[in-house]
Amino acid sequence: MTRGFMGTDTIEYSLIGIESLLAKFESITYDVKRKGGRFALRKAAGVVERALKQNADAVDDPGTPANISKNVAVRFSNRTFKATGDLKFRVGILGGASPSSKQTGQPGGITYFWRHQEFGTEKMAAQPFARRALEDNIGPATNEFVSQYEKAIDRAIKRAAKGK
C-alpha cells in the first residue's frame, strides 16, 4: 500500500502476517468489527502520537512558553465515518496555520510556528518531525493495530460463544 502524507512525500508499507486475523474477522458481526477496529486503530494512533510528542520536544524551544508537544492530539474523524463507513484517526498538532485569538485556549499555547519547523521557510531549512514520527513508526503502529484488533476479536468471539 502507498499513502501520501501531507501532499509531498509517500510512505510505502505492506501488511504481512494478518492471515489469522482475517480468518477470525469473518466470524463476527459488523458492529463488533467496527467497535474493535476503532479501539485498535486508536491504540495504533497512540504509537504515532507518542513519537510525535518526543520529536516535537526535540525541536521545540524551551525558552518560550509555547509547547508543541502539549498540542499534539489524536482525533476520530466522524465526517469520514459518516460519509464512507471507514474508520479514521488523525494525529496532528492543534492550532492551525496562523496565530489567532482562538488558539489561546490550547494546552501548549499558540504553536502555529510548528509548520515553519516542519516545512521550512525561504529563510529557514525544514526540520521535519511530524513526518518522521509516522515514517519511523509505521511498523510498530501496524503491529499494535493487528495485536489489539486480534485481542478484540478474540474477546468478541468468547462473548458470542457465551451468549449462545
Distance CA(54)–CA(149), nearest Å, equals 26
Which structural domain, as residue segments, surrounds residue 145? 30-98+106-153
Distance CA(37)–CA(77), nearest Å, equals 14
* 138 located within any domain: yes
pLDDT at 15: 73
Mean pLDDT, residues 11-32 taken together? 69
Mean pLDDT, residues 72-101 taken together? 86
* 116 located within any domain: yes
> With bands split at pLDDT 50, 70 and 90, how would you rate the model's confidence at 114?
confident
* 35 located within any domain: yes
**Grid cell digits, residue 86:** 471507514
Distance CA(98)–CA(84), nearest Å, equals 31
* 143 located within any domain: yes
- Closest alpha carbon to 136 in 58, 38, 55: 55
pLDDT digits (tens, 9 = 90+) for 22-55: 766 666 666 666 888 899 999 999 999 999 999 9
pLDDT at 112: 79
**Grid cell digits, residue 29:** 458481526
Distance CA(95)–CA(73), nearest Å, equals 10
User: Which residue did the predictor score with more confidence, 115 or 101?
Assistant: 115
Does 101 have pLDDT greater than 60? no
**Grid cell digits, residue 135:** 515514517
User: Which residue did the predictor score with more confidence, 77 or 27?
Assistant: 77
- Dihedral (CA of 125, 90, 17, 51) sign: positive
- pLDDT > 90 fraction of the chain, expressed in percent and rounded: 35
Does 20 have pLDDT greater than 90? no
**Domain total in the chain:** 1
* 90 located within any domain: yes
pLDDT at 97: 67
> With bands split at pLDDT 50, 70 and 90, how would you rate the model's confidence at 104?
low
